[in-house]
Structure 1
Amino acid sequence: MNTIYPSLTIALITKNEAANLEACLQSTAGLTDKIVIIDSGSSDATADIANRYGAAFHRHEDWPGFGRQRNRAHQYIETDWVLWLDADERLTPELNQSIQTALKQTPADGKTAFSFNRLSNTFGAFIRHCGWYPDWVVRLYPTAHARYSDDLVHEKVLLPADTQVKKLQGDALHYTYATLDQFLAKQNLYGRLWAEQRLAKGKTASLSQAMVHGAGSFIKMYILKAGFLDGRHGLLLSILLAQATFNKYAALWLAGKK
């Protein structure tokens, strides 16, 4: 991999991402040869693929939640900038070039971070509505000036108050769910972690709230966010996420009754 910007590290957290990792790393060609991967116990070929790309591969199997797992990468990053990717994401050529241009023109002084837009592919179709697109996420920031929140799930980048977030050109293609089993497994995990996190903060829920939030999720995604324009995939996704929303509030209700 030819280094264009030597003061950039690409960072990922992984577990059994052999089906995705190579395509993700291929899409970063030309950016840097510095890659840090924090793995939580892969049993597939994830480590072999990481080694082929010269990544520094570190195992941390005592899972502390998504935010803290990401923050573990900072002890291994020595560059001015870090670009965070998920293994199921791919940089388009336009986004790759936009990152190169931005880093050549921007000092790593904490005054600027960058976000990019994700276009998600679910069950073989790109979803351009449902509230899923545009989907701006902050992923490129000066290493010394930011960290992720410690949230168990739905973690976010914490930036200094005076940091300006600039938008990069081009999309990242996000291959979220290939199968229904994969969707259900991930949503069950996220829902359980969400409920645990809320319960730890003293939050509770009722079964009626679960019903209202579930119904509201469907109305928002399919009608208000024009999910119907995504055809059958939009309908399916809206139904499934309404169910997932109900499930997570139901999990919080049940946890609060113990």
Structure 2
Amino acid sequence: MDKPTLAVALIVKNEAQHLNACLSSVAGWVDEIVILDSGSTDETEDIARRYTDKFYVSEDWPGFGIQRQRAQQYVTSDYVLWLDADERVTPELRTAILEATALPKDNTVYQINRLSSAFGQFIHHSGWTPDWLTRLYPTSLTTYNDALVHEKVIEVPKTQVKKLNGNLLHYTYDNLHHYIGKTTGYLRSWADEREGTKKSSLSKALIHAFAAFLKMYVLRCGFLDGRRGFILAWLTMHSTFVKYVDLWLREQKHKENM
């Protein structure tokens, strides 16, 4: 039998700061690199083309799930490994991936533990670790769902899930401005997806916000991550308040226009 082939796939936009380090962590041991860009204005394309000629552009943004579906259509390999530009494959994870794809099992998808950093420190508590994500699977078996944000791989009936050794390093937030820039889009997409189907109120916004802080900082031991753990919990509280208030304000505007 021929050895199964392996592709790495990414969806990107303005990722020049991280993309080179990401792609260098997989260059030389995967068979294919597929990148779908949504309209970068920095050096993302130039960096990507140092590693692959399979660079495509789709500027109309349909949400994360459908954009990943689009990217997967360009993949020709037997397996696809999904990465974000701010992630790096460690040597231990590389070994586990190659072993898994060299001896394929029917109807099996693979989860990878992502270890994330924020503001220059890896976060080992706060509900961030462990962070098991389905990122490797046979291309013909499944794909991502249609979610605008927080998209997931579609669970196929009778599919086995196996966890791989090694971490996927995730350089989440470089600084506070980076955090604000990334979360703004997520919060808007969250409200977009729920507008008209989910009710909100100021009291709900406050309750969910305080609950988010307590859950992250106390129940999930964010205090063990030191000052950055407190900062992350506080920012999570603020973001939670913002998204519920945004949803409530949309409801009020809709009522005024009726």
Instruction: Give the TM-score normalised by structure 1.
Output: 0.95
Supply the AA of the counterpart residue of 1:227: G
1:20, 1:55 → 2: CA distance?
Answer: 19
Match of 2:184 among 185, 188, 198: 188
- Cα shift readout 1:98-150 (whole Å, capped 9, x = no counterpart): 1001111114x4x1000100110100000000000000000001111111110
Aligned partner (choices 126, 133, 139) of residue 130 of structure 1: 126
Matched, 1:58 2:56: yes
Aligned residue type for 1:102: A
Q: 1:18-167 residue pairs with structure 2 within 5 A?
A: 18-107=16-105, 109=106, 111-167=107-163
**Preserved contact between residue 34 and residue 52 of structure 2 (Cα < 8 Å):** no
State the Cα distance separating 1:57 from its structure 2 match: 0.5
Paired with 2:143 and 2:243, the residues of 1 have a C-alpha distance of 27
Q: Structure 2 CA distance, aligned partners of 1:225 and 1:133?
A: 10
Instruction: Tell me, in whole angstroms, the C-alpha distance in 1 between the residues paired with 2:250 and 2:93.
Output: 43
Could you tell me which residue of structure 2 aligns to residue 227 of structure 1?
Answer: 222
Residue 10 of structure 2 is aligned to residue 12 of structure 1: yes
- Partner of 1:44: helix, strand, or coil? coil
- Give me the whole-angstrom Cα distance separating, in 2, the residues matched to 1:30 and 1:116: 20
CA distance in 2, matches of 1:21, 1:186: 16
- TM-fit CA distance, 1:199: 1.2
Amino acid at match of 1:191: L
TM-score w.r.t. the length of structure 2 is: 0.95
Deviation (angstroms), 1:74: 2.2
Equivalent residue of 1:167, what SS?
strand
Alignment pair present for 1:176 and 2:181: no
Q: Counterpart in 1 of 2:200?
A: 205
Identity %: 55
Change (3 A) 1:217 1:55: farther
Q: After alignment, is 12-21 or 31-40 more displaced? A: 31-40
1:240 is aligned to 235
Q: Tell me the amino acid that sits aligned with residue 52 of structure 2.
A: G
Letter of the 1:85 partner, please give it: L
- Write out the 4+ residue segments of structure 1 that deviate beyond 6 Å after TM superposition: none
Q: CA deviation at 1:12?
A: 0.1
CA 1:55–1:242 in structure 2 vs 1: closer, same or farther (change >3 Å)? farther
Aligned Cα RMSD in Å?
1.1
Cα separation, 1, equivalents of 2:251 and 2:46: 43
Q: Deviations over 1:52-77 (max 9, x none)?
A: 00241000000000000110012211
Instruction: Name the aligned partner's letter for residue 191 of structure 2.
Output: A
Asked whether the 8 Å contact 1:37–1:55 carries over to 2, the reply is no
Return the offset for 1:6: 5.9
> Contact between 1:21 and 1:87, CA under 8 Å: does it hold in 2?
yes
Q: Conserved in 1, the CA contact under 8 Å of 2:123 and 2:129?
A: yes
The number of aligned residues is 251
**Quick one: distance in 1 between partners of 2:154 and 2:142?**
6
**Distance in structure 1 (CA, Å) of the matches to 2:60 and 2:220:** 38
Letter in 2 for 1:16: N
Which consecutive unaligned segments of at least 5 residues does structure 2 have?
A: 254-258
CA distance in 1, matches of 2:77, 2:27: 18
Structure 1: 5+ residue runs without aligned partners?
A: none
